[in-house]
Amino acid sequence: MRLHNISFNNLRRRKSKLAFLIVGLTIGIATIVTLVTLTKSMSGDIERKMDEFGANILITPQQNGLAMNYGGINLGGVSFDQKEILESDLSRISTIKNGKNISAVAPKVLGGVRVAGRQVMLVGVLFDKELKLKQWWKIFGEAPKGAGELLLGSDAARVLNVMTGDPLVLKGERFRVTGVLDQTGSQDDSLVFAQLGVAQRLLGKQGRINLVEVAALCSGCPIGDMVLQIAEKLPDAKVSAIQQVVEGRLKALDQFRRFSWAMAGVVVFIGSLIVFVTMMGSVNERTTEIGVFRAIGFRKSHIMRIILLEAAVVGLLAGLLGYWTGMGGAWLALPFMAEGKLVALAWDPLVAFGSLGLSLGLALVASLYPALQASRMDPTEALRAL
Amino acid sequence: MSLIKVRDLAKSYRSGDETVEALRGVDIRIAQGEFITIMGQSGSGKSTLLSVLGGLNRPSRGTVEMAGIDLYALSGERLADFRSERLGFVFQSFNLIPYLTALENVMLPLAIRRMKGKQKIAAAREALSRVGLGAKADRLPNALSGGEQERVAIARAVVNRPHILLADEPTGNLDSKTSREMMDLFRALNQAGQTVVMVTHNPENCDYSDRTIQLKDGLVVAQG
């Protein structure tokens, strides 16, 4: 018979109380595990979605050209009549240290052309990359697939009086408009989009491009690092982060994380309160018993050890149960949260050990005051009979 | 040679606005191997005297010397150690721990001792045998009769071979036949050398003791 036998026997023979304590704490821990795991599992997915939603790095030629605005974004020294980046240089972008974080590289060549007596801006793009980058585009018709096809912004289509399926002549070459963009509110509305190679040929800029928009996944890599890495690979280009986009995304993610932690905090507080109230009740219930312990010579520290050991057992069991219940909850909730997409459940040993440690810590902290109260109990008061 | 020397013992406590003087200058001496009963009406201070003798209730005045040690000169934790090593308690309502078996209840005072598990079990079995309950060692208290519970409580009080066995109304909750059995048991323990100090309100119990101390209004009014 040692002190731990008293704790274990008490827990073993007061199963309903043990179950109540464990359930209370398990709910708290499980909620944390579910929220943290969901946040971890989803944040990658959310980051990816957010990062794919438009560019966050801009590559322009190093020059002192005139300022120009593109899509509400200041393009700095871009000038479509001056220097260009070589298309062959683009392959170097993917060789940067954080190359795996690059989601899309969308090169563009820009130039003015006359169409039906009007000056319009022709933009050569790689449509598959551009569509990945601009997921908000809504096309009436379809994106061009062949060389003889064009996509028009809504204003361009209106001014040039063409619709999907109509022909359009650029620099004496006949094209077919396969799609018209729904109004975007950006400069895209007034542009004429063609395949990159076609635009380069029409504008006389074969193998050259004016700017590159890059969508980089922020996960695990500060965008600033990637900007430096790309700049090293392309010394003749000016590489800049679109700060407002980057900051906006980080802030949104941060808010999502904060919300999860706040939720978890509330549940943990309630869980701790359950442990505190139950342990306090248990101590009050065991007044006589504690009086007996003190009368037969148990020190205050012995009483505290008995109570805290019980709390530790409850904490460990609740931690284990809470972890597995929480992971189960996350597994069940993930398909709904991830909108049916296959997102892998994040198995993190830190969450496993963290939940166990948290549960143990909470149980001990919540039981500290009841244990102190128990140890300070006056044996004569506790026994009354004496 | 006195095992216990109580000098000018007084204990008062607050009850609402009133100060109750439970003990008002008690002087007693108890020799090694004596069986003492303390009698008195309700409120006479007998239970208070027992709790002070047991190192559970610090007196307002006076000293309690036990085997040459001034009990209340010890710090709280040293006093707890003293209780663990030198004293055994039997409470009126037995106060067995409901989730421990009879054997575990008896082993309770040994839980804080540095002894091998086997030695603890052997000591507890031996104590249970002494009170005639060796066969029911694995039963929980609620599976034992009142008399059996009392036996377990006595076994628990003597398992650490204390200098003094203190009992507070140990037959208060028992029928007369079981009471006599319990008193026989106390007497047998005493005859084996155990010093016993028992608070009782049953005059018949005094027949088993060597000496009776009569208390009235916190004072010793008769001894012998």
Q: Above pLDDT 90, what percent of chain A? A: 26
Q: Is residue A246 part of a domain?
A: no
Q: What whole-number distance in Å separates Cα of residue A180 and Cα of residue A142?
A: 8
Best B89, B114, B116 member to test A by mutation, with max A CBs in 10 Å, is: B89
Paired residues of A193 in beta bridges: A123, A151
What one-character DSSP code corresponds to residue A94? Answer: G
Lowest mean pLDDT among A10-24, A145-159, B16-30: A10-24
Q: How many CB atoms lie within 10 A of CB A55?
A: 25
Note whether B97 contacts A3, CB cutoff 8 Å. no
A197-214: per-residue pLDDT in tens? 999 999 988 888 888 988
Number of folded domains in chain A? 2
Do B71 and B65 meet the contact criterion of CB atoms below 8 Å apart?
yes
Q: Tell me the domains of chain B and their CATH numbers.
A: 35-57+76-223 (3.40.50.300)
Query: Looking at the structure, do residues A286 and A374 belong to the same domain, yes or no?
Result: yes
Q: What whole-number distance in Å separates Cα of residue A61 and Cα of residue B156?
A: 92
Please name the residue of chain A whose CA is at the shortest distance from the CA of residue B160: A296
A349-359: per-residue pLDDT in tens? 888 999 999 99
Give the DSSP H/E element, type plus range, for residue A241: strand A237-241
Q: What whole-number distance in Å separates Cα of residue A45 and Cα of residue A338?
A: 8
CA distance B3 to chain A (A): 20
* Residue-range definition of the domain harbouring residue A146: 56-241
Q: Name the domain boundary from A241, A271, A302.
A: A241
**Torsions phi, psi of A266, nearest 5?**
-65, -45
CA distance A292 to chain B (A): 7
Please name the residue of chain A whose CA is at the shortest distance from the CA of residue B89: A296
Give yes or no for B150 touching A (CB within 8 A): no
Bridge pairing between strands A208-209 and A173-181: unpaired
Please name the residue of chain A whose CA is at the shortest distance from the CA of residue B118: A1
Least CB-CB distance to B108: which of A1, A299, A383? A1
Best B52, B72, B92, B97 member to test A by mutation, with max A CBs in 10 Å, is: B97
Query: Looking at the structure, do residues A130 and A180 belong to the same domain, yes or no?
Result: yes
Query: Looking at the structure, do residues A190 and A82 belong to the same domain, yes or no?
Result: yes
Query: Looking at the structure, do residues A174 and A264 belong to the same domain, yes or no?
Result: no
Mean pLDDT of A321-326: 94
Q: Name the domain boundary from A178, A209, A241.
A: A241
A109-145: per-residue pLDDT in tens? 999 888 888 888 999 999 998 888 888 889 999 999 9
Note whether A14 contacts B99, CB cutoff 8 Å. yes
Q: Is residue A322 part of a domain?
A: yes
Please name the residue of chain B whose CA is at the shortest distance from the CA of residue A291: B95
Question: Tokens for A66?
Answer: 């005139």
Query: Looking at the structure, do residues A288 and A327 belong to the same domain, yes or no?
Result: yes
Note whether A1 contacts B124, CB cutoff 8 Å. yes
Q: What whole-number distance in Å separates Cα of residue A315 and Cα of residue A278?
A: 13
CA distance A369 to chain B (A): 20
Note whether B120 contacts A1, CB cutoff 8 Å. yes
Q: Is residue A91 part of a domain?
A: yes
Q: How many CB atoms lie within 10 A of CB B141?
A: 19
Query: Looking at the structure, do residues A212 and A71 belong to the same domain, yes or no?
Result: yes
Tell the residue number behind the tokens 């708290």, with chain if given.
Answer: A28
Q: What whole-number distance in Å separates Cα of residue A256 and Cα of residue A266?
A: 16
**Quick one: pLDDT band at residue A386, thresholds 50, 70, 90?**
very low
Contacts of B107 in chain A (CB under 8 A): 1
Q: What whole-number distance in Å separates Cα of residue A153 and Cα of residue A90?
A: 26
Question: Tokens for A297?
Answer: 């010579």
Q: How many CB atoms lie within 10 A of CB A5?
A: 16
Question: Tokens for A259?
Answer: 């919300």
Query: Looking at the structure, do residues A229 and A292 belong to the same domain, yes or no?
Result: no
Comparing CA positions, the residue from A306, A276, A376, A236 lying closest to residue A5 is A306
Note whether A386 contacts B54, CB cutoff 8 Å. yes
A250-260: per-residue pLDDT in tens? 677 778 778 87
Note whether A299 contacts B85, CB cutoff 8 Å. no
CA distance A323 to chain B (A): 30
For residue A77, pLDDT over 50 is answered with no
Vertex A126: Cα angle to A230 and A191 (nearest 5)? 105
Query: Looking at the structure, do residues A361 and A325 belong to the same domain, yes or no?
Result: yes
Query: Looking at the structure, do residues A237 and A341 belong to the same domain, yes or no?
Result: no
Please name the residue of chain B whose CA is at the shortest distance from the CA of residue A14: B99
A276-288: per-residue pLDDT in tens? 888 888 888 888 8
Lowest mean pLDDT among A55-64, A78-87, B132-141: A78-87
The strand ranges marked E within B54-206 are: 61-66, 69-70, 87-90, 164-168, 195-199
Note whether B80 contacts A380, CB cutoff 8 Å. no
Give the Å distances, CA to CA, from B95 to A201, A383, B144, B181.
Answer: 100, 9, 13, 19
Note whether B54 contacts A12, CB cutoff 8 Å. no
Query: Looking at the structure, do residues A160 and A106 belong to the same domain, yes or no?
Result: yes
Bridge pairing between strands B35-40 and B211-216: parallel
Query: Looking at the structure, do residues A266 and A285 belong to the same domain, yes or no?
Result: yes
Establish, for the pair of chains A and B, how many residue pairs have beta carbons separated by less than 8 Å: 95
CA distance B17 to chain A (A): 19
Query: Looking at the structure, do residues A168 and A103 belong to the same domain, yes or no?
Result: yes
pLDDT in tens, chain B (224 residues): 788 999 999 999 888 888 889 999 999 999 999 999 999 988 899 989 999 999 988 999 999 999 889 999 998 889 999 999 999 999 888 889 998 999 999 999 999 988 898 999 999 999 999 888 888 999 999 999 988 998 999 999 999 989 899 999 888 878 888 889 889 999 999 999 999 999 998 899 999 999 999 999 999 998 87
Q: Is residue A101 part of a domain?
A: yes
Mean pLDDT of A379-384: 69
Q: Name the domain boundary from A216, A241, A266.
A: A241
